[in-house]
């Protein structure tokens, strides 16, 4: 039996991250006590050089390898760089927080690298089993990271809820995939699309499978009715872990939705678009209304996430216009999905800054989690209060911050798809949601500080948080550059 050696070049970055994860494991085991920061340095080097490898191997042509189970395209390369950059920023923010609580250990960085590897595999999956393997690698790593503070009852409870509900969602997803295989006779995503095009699939079985797949996807994104884990995990996990859970996995989940729904089952879009539209609408309502009642900032941001992911799904549900010509259809699809990608990327940037500020306000023995902890921040640090102000205004969609342009692009896609009623509804809910963001600004600038302790944080955290804030501000001043990159990346893949 002759075996053909697969082309490893498209998977160079994944192979590098895997090798470096093993190196971090071994080096930390033998040198961790002598060189306490070695795991952090190696992890950051892995993430940076992984991004460089993705950049150097990027090509406009789509490459398939490992028996066509692994795909390398510009869309995937862009998302991998975004994931690696997000994880690098999260590691920088979280180091001092973990240090103060005795959690700055090699296993945290090892789990972070395996979670990153899982996300990268999801991004390049062209086969349902590869997609599932990447998803489980990411999920299992995140479960363990949430439970990292073993002596904390809240963290243990959050990890248990996350694990049980995550296992249920994985079961839904796997069952849905098995039904899709039964309907089409293949697990390869592009082959599923081909079977649908030739009307060779059992449509009834396929649609049942689609329901379970959407349920699994909805859990990973964190939208209604599969949102139950989000507030508990965000509140219970250490803030450094919440930062990771609330950022990079959203990028991976978005790619998963594009690969499965758009790449594999675009020809049954009328069914999954309706499901996404309903979930998005309920998520925006529940997220915005429930966030108003929260006094815990992390819990407030959790419900905010549910609302933001609802907005992203609105764009995904607006990609097809009935009766459009082929040229108009391609334009509407690209416009809607690039708006969804733009929204996801900008949300991750804002989420990093928001949780980074909470880490900045925390110190040994004290976690900044309540709204009162933000009181008078402008007096304690005018600059970082300004960073948080930019972040909150952007999340609220105040003109002319980047969040406004992200929301505007989604609304534009809705109007183009003749969903004007949904667009009006989304605007009204955004106005309601602006209340809890502006409340944070009011506390920072108009209330007296409860704690006047000087803000002490490493230079790396301060510099990175400042850069994060400046990037959000610049993206609001010139959003077209990021929009164009998103459209270009998707244009070569759709």
Alpha helices in 362-381 (DSSP H): 377-380
pLDDT of amino acid 151: 83
Alpha-carbon torsion, ordered 307, 308, 309, 312, to 10 deg:
130
CB 184 within 8 A of CB 191: yes
- Token output for 229: 């884990």
**Which residues of the chain are modeled with pLDDT < 70?**
1-3, 320-332, 364-365, 494
Name the one residue in this structure whose structure tokens are 């690039």: 338
pLDDT of amino acid 104: 82
CA distance 89 to 16: 19
pLDDT of amino acid 17: 96
- Token output for 48: 């940076």
pLDDT of amino acid 2: 54
Query: DSSP label at 65?
Result: E
Domain ranges of the chain: 269-494
Name the one residue in this structure whose structure tokens are 């689609």: 210
Determine if the pTM surpasses 0.85.
yes
CA distance 269 to 266: 5
């Amino acid at each position: 039996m002759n075996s053909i050696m697969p082309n490893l070049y498209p998977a160079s970055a994944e192979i590098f991250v895997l090798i470096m994860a093993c190196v971090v494991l071994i080096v930390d085991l033998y040198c961790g006590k002598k060189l306490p920061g070695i795991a952090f340095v190696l992890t950051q080097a892995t993430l940076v050089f992984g991004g460089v490898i993705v950049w150097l191997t990027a090509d406009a042509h789509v490459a398939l390898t490992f028996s066509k189970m692994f795909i390398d395209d510009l869309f995937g390369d862009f998302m991998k760089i975004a994931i690696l950059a997000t994880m690098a920023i999260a590691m920088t923010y979280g180091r001092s927080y973990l240090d103060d609580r005795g959690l700055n250990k090699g296993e945290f960085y090892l789990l972070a690298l395996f979670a990153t590897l899982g996300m990268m595999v999801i991004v390049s999956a062209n086969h349902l089993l590869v997609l599932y393997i990447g998803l489980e690698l990411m999920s299992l790593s995140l479960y363990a990271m949430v439970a990292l503070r073993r002596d904390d009852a809240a963290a243990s409870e959050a990890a248990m809820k996350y694990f049980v509900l995550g296992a249920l969602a994985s079961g839904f997803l796997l069952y849905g995939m098995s039904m899709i295989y039964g309907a089409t006779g293949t697990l390869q995503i592009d082959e599923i699309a081909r079977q649908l095009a030739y009307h060779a699939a059992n449509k009834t079985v396929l649609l049942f499978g689609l329901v379970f797949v959407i349920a699994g996807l909805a859990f990973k994104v964190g939208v209604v009715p599969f949102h139950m884990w989000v507030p508990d995990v965000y509140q219970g996990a250490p803030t450094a872990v919440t930062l990771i859970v609330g950022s990079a996995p959203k990028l991976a989940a978005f790619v998963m939705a594009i690969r499965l729904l758009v790449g594999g089952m675009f020809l049954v879009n009328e069914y999954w678009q309706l499901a996404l539209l309903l979930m998005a609408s309920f998520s925006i309502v529940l997220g915005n209304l429930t966030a108003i009642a929260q006094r815990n900032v992390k819990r407030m941001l959790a419900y905010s996430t549910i609302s933001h992911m609802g907005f992203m799904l609105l764009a995904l549900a607006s990609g097809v216009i009935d009766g459009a010509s082929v040229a108009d259809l391609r334009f509407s699809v690209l416009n809607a999905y690039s708006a969804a990608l733009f929204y996801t990327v900008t949300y991750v940037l804002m989420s990093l800054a928001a949780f980074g500020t909470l880490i900045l306000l925390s110190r040994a023995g004290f976690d900044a989690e309540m709204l009162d902890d933000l009181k008078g921040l402008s007096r304690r640090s005018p600059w970082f209060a300004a960073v948080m102000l930019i972040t909150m205004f952007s999340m609220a969609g105040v003109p002319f911050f980047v969040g406004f342009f992200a929301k505007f692009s989604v609304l534009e896609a809705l109007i183009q798809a003749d969903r004007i009623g949904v667009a009006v509804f989304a605007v009204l809910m955004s106005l309601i949601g602006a209340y809890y963001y502006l409340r944070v600004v009011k506390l920072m600038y108009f209330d007296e500080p409860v704690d006047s302790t000087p803000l002490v944080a490493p230079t790396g955290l301060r510099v990175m948080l400042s850069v994060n804030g400046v990037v959000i501000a610049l993206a609001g001043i010139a959003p077209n550059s990021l929009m164009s990159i998103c459209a270009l990346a998707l244009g070569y893949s759709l």
